[in-house]
A and B are shown apart, each in its own frame.
Chain A
Amino acid sequence: MSCLQTIQDYALRSVGIGERLLPKSDITLCEQVTLIGSGLIWNIYFGALALLFGFFLATGLALARNARNPLLRKPADWFIFVFRGSPLFIQFFLAYEAFVLLPRAGFDLNLGFVEITLATSWLTKAWAGALIVLFLNTAAYSGEIFHGALRSIPKGDVEAADAYGLHGFSRFRRVIWPTMLRLAWPAYTNEAIFLFHATTLVYFSGFPAWRQKGDALYYASYFADKTFNPFIPYPIVAGYFILVTLVIILIFGAINRHLNRHLPQTARPKMKFRLQVIR
C-alpha cells in the first residue's frame, strides 16, 4: 500500500472519515505519521476552543477578583483556587463521573406552557465534556494571570483616563483592558502552550475514545502497544507538538506586536522566546 493511499485512508480517521479499522500488523512509518497527525485535529480543536471561550471567562474572573464586593470576589477566588490547586487529571475524572451520573434519558424541563427534554448524554462524550473541563481550567489559570496584570496597570494610565473624562465601561475598554492584555500577554502565551499540551490528557482520563477516534497521543500509545517500540511513535508526537508550539508562538507574537503597535520602536517589550516553564 502506497503512502498516498494511507494518507487518503487515515488522514481524517480521528473524525471518523476513511478506513474504519486501524492498522494492526506490518505498521509502516507512513501509517504512524498519518494517523498521529490525524489525531492532532482533536488537540487543536480542544486547545483552540477552550482558549477562545476561556479568554472571556478569564477576563470576567479577573475583574471579579478585583471587585470590592465580596459577593463577586469570593466566588472568583474559590473558582481559581479549586481549578489551580488540583490536578487537571483529577478534574477530568471528576467531571466524567459527574456527567455519567446525570440521568441518561435527560431532564424533563417544564416551562409551564411547553415541556422540553434536555439531553445530557452528549456531556459524557469527550468533545463536549472534556472541552468544558479544559475551558474552566484555562479560564482559572488565565484569570489569575489577568488579575496580576490588572493590579500592575500603571497608576498614571488610569489617572490620565480619569482626566480625559473617561469612566465606567469606556474607561475599561479603551484604557484598562488593552493595558491589562499588554502586560499579561507573555504569560498568557505560556498558558496557551501549556493548554495545548494538556489536551493530550483527555483520552487518558476517563473519557472514552469512541470508535477509536482519539487524539495524537492516543494513537501514539496505540502504536507503542502494538509494535512494542516506543522509539518511533512518541518522537513523532513530540515533533508535532513542537510544530504546534512554534505556531502558537508565531500567532501570539503577532498579536503582541499588534497590542504594542502604538509604542515607539525602542520601548516595545520584546516577546521572550526563552519560554518560562511556569504555569
Chain B
Amino acid sequence: MFSFCTDPSALDGLDWLACYLTNGKHMAFWASFGTVILLLLITAPVALAFGFAGAIAARSHVLPLRLIGRTYTAMVRGVPDIVFFLFAPIAMDQGFEWLRHKAKCPDWDAPIRQGNDFVVCAEAKLPLSASPQWVHETYGFTLAVIAFAVVFGAFAANVLFGAMRAVPHAQIETAGAYGMSERQAFWRILVPQMWIYALPGLSNLWMILVKATPLLFLLGVEDIVYWAKELGGAKTSLFAYPHPDWRLYYFLGLLVFYLGLTKVSEVILARLTRRLSHGQATVAGEAQRKAAA
C-alpha cells in the first residue's frame, strides 16, 4: 500500500501499524464489511417481498393457500432461527442438485442417497466442479441470502399480517361504499395505510437482521467473523507481521462496528417513523397536525 512497506521487519510504531492494517489480508477483511452491508441491502427487500406474499397468502380465501401462508408465518415462532440457517442452505443445495439431476441425467439408475452419501451425476453438480473459485463463493453467498430471506420473510409476514389487520375496518368499508372492488380496496386503501402500523415491527426486524448477520460465518461465507478469527490469531515470526493473539481486539472492533450500525439504524428509523406518521389517523399523526397548525 505505502511505499515504505517493502520491508515490514524494519518498521516499528505507527508505520508498522499502517502497513499492517493495509496488507493484502486486511484488505480482504475491510472488503468483508462490504459483504455484510451487501447482505443487508439484498436481504431486506427480498425478505419484505417474501413477507408481503406470505401475509397475502395467510389472508387468502383459498384454503390451501391460507394454510401455506399460516404455516409459513407460524414456522419461526417456535423454532430457533439458527436451525433454519443451518438447514435451509444445505436443503436448497440438495434440492437444486436433485432437480438438475432429474433433468440432465434421466438414465441414471443408482439411488441418490447411498448410505451416508448424496450422489448426483457430475453434470448436475452445483456449481460445476470445473468452475472457478468466485463462482463457488457467489453460489455460497446466494444460498445464504436465500436462507436469510426465507427466515426474515417469515418474521416480516407476521408483522405485515398484523399490520393489515390493524388498519381500521371502516376504511375498507368506506372503500366498498365508494364502489371499489376488493382488489382495488386492498391496493389503494389497505396497503398505503398499513405501513405505519407495520413500522415498529419492521424496524425491530431490521435490528434483528443486523444482529443476525454474523451468522453468515456459520454458512461458510468468508465474512467479518471469519477474518477476525483468521487475522487475530497469534502469528509467529514466519509471518511478515508477527504478533501475539489479538483476537480479543478484533472482536472488540466488530462489537463497536455493530453498535455503530444499530445506532445509525435507530436514528434513521426514528426519522422514517416521523415521516410516515404524517397525515395518519394516529396519535403521532394528530400531534404533527396540531404542531403545524
Contact = CB atoms under 8 A, between A and B. Distances in A.
A is bound by B = yes
Interface in B232-270: 232, 245, 247-248, 251-252, 254-255, 258-259, 262-263
Contacts of B288: none
A220 B159 CA distance: 30
A102 to B, nearest CB: 11
A229 B255 contact: no
B77 A241 contact: no
A86 B204 contact: no
A217 B82 contact: yes
B259 A228 contact: no
B115 to A, nearest CB: 8
Contact of A217 (B83, B208, B228, B245): B83
A275 interface: yes
B128 interface: no
Nearest to A93: B251
Contacts of A86: 211, 255, 258-259, 262
Interface in A224-264: 224, 226-231, 234, 237-238, 241-242, 245-246
Interface string B94-109: 1000000000000000
A241 B83 contact: yes
Contacts of B4: none
Given A204-B218, A229-B118, A279 B259 contact: no
B75 to A, nearest CB: 9
A230 B248 contact: no
B213 to A, nearest CB: 7
Given A87-B211, A94-B255, A101-B245, A234 B87 contact: yes
Contact of A101 (B213, B215, B248, B262): B248
Main SS at interface, chain A: helix
Given A277-B158, A279-B204, A279-B208, A90 B255 contact: yes
Interface stretch (A52-60, A110-118, A195-203): A195-203
A200 B214 contact: no
Nearest to B255: A86
A224 B259 contact: no
Interface string B113-127: 101111000000000
B81 A197 contact: yes
A241 B79 contact: yes
A94 B86 contact: no
Contacts of A237: 79-80, 83
B155 interface: yes
B204 A278 contact: yes
Interface in B158-183: 158-159
A85 interface: yes
Interface in B178-221: 201, 204-205, 208, 210-215, 217-218
Contacts of A19: none
A264 B252 CA distance: 52
Contact of A87 (B94, B159, B229, B258): B258
Contacts of A2: none
A93 B262 CA distance: 19
Given A217-B86, A227-B116, A200 B80 contact: yes
- Which of B94, B158, B212, B255 gathers the greatest number of chain A CB atoms within 10 Å? B255
Interface residues of B, number: 48
A242 B252 CA distance: 35
Nearest to A273: B77
Contacts of B81: 197
B19 interface: no
Contacts of A101: 245, 248
B67 interface: no
A87 B209 CA distance: 10
Contacts of A85: 258-259, 262-263
A210 interface: no
B13 interface: no
B90 A224 contact: yes
B82 A200 contact: yes
A241 B82 contact: no
A195 to B, nearest CB: 11
B83 A200 contact: yes
A193 to B, nearest CB: 8
A25 interface: yes
Nearest to A242: B78
Contacts of B90: 224, 230
B80 A217 contact: yes
A221 B77 CA distance: 21
A94 B252 contact: yes
A90 B82 contact: no
A234 B94 CA distance: 15
Contacts of A82: 255, 259
Nearest to A91: B255
Given A200-B83, A277-B159, 4 more contacts: A86-B262, A93-B254, A97-B232, A234-B87
Interface of A: 25-27, 81-82, 85-91, 93-94, 97-98, 100-101, 193, 196-198, 200-201, 204, 217, 220-221, 224, 226-231, 234, 237-238, 241-242, 245-246, 275-279
10 contacts: A86-B258, A86-B259, A87-B213, A87-B258, A90-B251, A97-B248, A200-B83, A204-B218, A227-B116, A234-B83
